Amino acid sequence: MITHVRRTQIQLDEATYVALRLRAYQQRRSLAAVIRDVLSEALGTRARKKSARRTMKDFPFVGAGESDQGSEGPVSERHDQALAKGWRP
């Protein structure tokens, strides 16, 4: 767990910057997150992360309730119409 974060600025040569931006784009992550990961891996300071992978077993409450969806049901398919109807004065 990170207890304190420091903010800093760095200067990069063009090739390094382009390589980092490409990696960030490919991983759909921010440039800052990629830089932090690359540095922590290179320096051996990477903290072990708890896996974020979840399964339906982690969410036993899903589907546990029922609702009266009325004429707008199923709301999962007609959510825009149901929301519009709910916002009418």
Kindly tell me if the per-residue pLDDT of 88 is higher than 70: no
Model pLDDT for residues 17-73, shown as the tens digit of each residue: 999 999 999 999 999 999 999 999 999 887 666 556 777 777 777 767 776 767 766
**pLDDT at residue 80 in the model:** 75
Distance of CA 58 to the CA centre of its chain: 18
What integer pLDDT is reported at residue 50 of this predicted model? Answer: 59
User: Over 90: is that where the pLDDT of 87 sits?
Assistant: no
Query: pTM above the 0.75 mark?
Result: no
Mean predicted confidence (pLDDT) in 80-85: 74
Residue 38 main-chain phi, psi, to 5 deg: -60, -45
Domain extents in the chain: 1-48
Residue 74: other Cβ atoms inside 10 A = 9
Residue 3: both structure tokens together: 């207890």
